[in-house]
Amino acid sequence: MYIDTHVQLNFSDFDEDRVTVIANAKKAGVKQFIVPGVDHNSCRTALHLAKAHPGVIYAAAGYHPYEAPKNPDLSYIETLLNDPENKEYIVAVGECGLDYHEYRGEVAAGRKDVQERLFTDQLTIATKFDLPVIIHCREAFDDVFTILQKLPAIPRGVFHCFSGSQQDLRIAVDMGFFIGIDGNVTYSKQLPMVVPFIPIDSLVLETDAPYLTPVPHRGKRNEPKYIPLVAAKVAELQKKPIDEIMTATTANAQRLFSV
């Protein structure tokens, strides 16, 4: 089976047919899903979905870096994690991290300080609760690595939707992080130069649905049923049988998230 380690089933894009989307994914061999939070409401919805689909959907609780200017209250995440009834459903902190890409016309430099504070605080929460962290990093690898290296202890985790260089890959893997590869591997010009160098025991598969729809379905809503397309491209780039990619990435996801 496959595990989609990053899918936004908690987003409104799936409100009309979420049950069907999950059923179609299962038919394609995708049997488990990690659903991260990006803000207060999506964390709550992810947890609700995990409780409605025990053993199939697992939640992560966190705030995306674009939430940083809103000064979100992280006590909500700690409240969720402190509740023993949520222990079996919330398996990670995230997604959290840094994103310096220009967003809605706002220059990224104006948000760096608040993003770094929010990211650091969530790393501290992950360490406190001994949970892996799902890291969102775009155009910010040097700062993410600097923040991680300053911590008393680096938490385990995954670089979600990896977009770094071969050097960034080496540093992330040396720190013990897993590398998440998504549907954009089927059309990216940069990822084919990096994916062959990802150690197979550090690799996990994602869709980031409803975004990053793989070829040949670009232009349509992404769904977790497309994980096999991601696996096929990774297998091609790593020159390995697709069954080997499936077996390894599933085992890696199980080890990372304790599912």
The predicted model scores a pTM of 0.96
* Confidence (pLDDT) at 103: 58
Q: What is each CA distance from 211 to 50, 153, 162, 198, 252, in whole angstroms?
A: 21, 32, 14, 23, 23
Tens digit of each residue's pLDDT, the chain (259 residues): 999 999 999 999 999 999 999 999 999 999 999 999 999 999 999 999 999 999 999 999 999 998 998 889 999 999 999 999 999 999 999 999 999 887 556 666 557 889 999 999 999 999 999 999 999 999 999 999 999 999 999 999 999 999 999 999 999 999 999 999 999 999 999 999 999 999 999 999 999 999 999 999 999 999 999 999 999 999 999 999 999 999 999 999 999 999 9
Q: What angle do CA 232, 228, 16 make, to 5 degrees?
A: 145
Instruction: Give exposure, 12-23, as e/b (b: 16+ Cβ within 10 Å).
Output: ebbeeebeebbe
Cα 30 to chain centroid, rounded: 16
Give the per-residue pLDDT at 259. Answer: 96
In words, the CATH class of domain 2-257 is: alpha beta
For CA atoms 144, 11, 90, 4, the dihedral sign is negative
